[in-house]
Amino acid sequence: MKRFEGKVVLVTGTSRNTGVGIAALFIREGAFVFVCSSSPESTAKGARQLHDMGLTNFIEAPADISDPESVDKLFQFIQEKTGRLDILVNNACNQGIGPAFEDIPYDFFKKVILTNLGGTFYVSQQAARMMLRQESRGVIVNLGSNVSMRAIRNRTAYVSSKGGIDALTRSMAVDLGPKGIRVNEVAPGYIYTDRWDALDEGTRTRRRMNCPLRQEATADDIAQTVAFLASDASRNICGERIVVDAGCSAQHMPEDVDR
């Protein structure tokens, strides 16, 4: 039997890359998946990729997670279509690529925090309320980042938001665990996305020097860890942060620096 046969799953941030990979794994494992991105157009883009993989057991459910009204409509749609939600994967993210700390406009910082932290909070809250009405409860998996513990340059808003995800995950786990809802986090490092296609080979090689395994994660690497935390195999894991970064966080400095 497939691991998620008959389960209903919501995956946010499914326009491309990791979100599509996560949705694809759940569909292949028997789940019915709501795929969600910030607009109908971006959601349809991810849906086309899933269709190209031969996958059909999903439905498009666009929502801007930074907008509570949009999230409310999303959960009304889920209620109408399935009447339940078993697994939530909070993957949607504003990458927050911008200027140095002293040049960051406040509105830019606020927008990144509102999407990454505020959006994760509100989507999770609505999901938890739905799950608490179900006998079987549910599971929530948040996507964080290894940068919450090891900051990168010129990404203050993003790093701050991911630090908040770490704390939010622990707090959710403590509050929701006794009520039957498990909450955990996957914290990736480098992930191969379409942004890597614009990099020259020298830059890719240098990045890989930061990884003891010498290889960035694939979307499926992240999806497999998310699926583990969403499955019964992790039934006694709650409030944890699993780092998937090819050993980056274990390494003090890469070989070409540490000489």
190 is catalytic: no
pLDDT higher than 80, residue 97: yes
Give the predicted TM-score (pTM) of the model: 0.96
Residue with tokens 């403590």: 174
Helix (H, G, I), strand (E, B) or coil at 188: strand
User: Average pLDDT for residues 85-111, to the nearest whole number?
Assistant: 96
User: Average pLDDT for residues 125-151, to the nearest whole number?
Assistant: 97
For the stretch 51-71, pLDDT in tens is 999 999 999 999 999 999 999
**Cα–Cα distance, 62 to 191 (Å, whole number):** 24
pLDDT higher than 70, residue 118: yes
For the stretch 11-25, pLDDT in tens is 999 999 999 999 999
Take residue 258 and report the two structure tokens written for it.
């540490």
Confidence at residue 173, expressed as pLDDT on a 0 to 100 scale: 98
Mean pLDDT of the chain: 96
106 is catalytic: no
pLDDT higher than 70, residue 259: no
Radius of gyration of the chain (CA): 18
Instruction: Spot the catalytic one: 145, 148, 160, 234.
Output: 145
Closest CA to 186 of 252, 140, 134: 140
158 is catalytic: yes
For the stretch 165-217, pLDDT in tens is 999 999 999 999 999 999 999 999 999 888 888 888 888 888 888 999 999 99
> What percentage of the chain carries pLDDT values higher than 70?
99
Q: Look at the chain and count its residues.
A: 259
Instruction: Spot the catalytic one: 15, 122, 124, 158.
Output: 158
User: Average pLDDT for residues 221-243, to the nearest whole number?
Assistant: 98
pLDDT higher than 80, residue 238: yes
Beta bridge partners of 87: 9, 139
Question: Using CA of residue 250, residue 255, residue 258, residue 259, what is the dihedral sign?
Answer: positive
User: Average pLDDT for residues 71-94, to the nearest whole number?
Assistant: 98
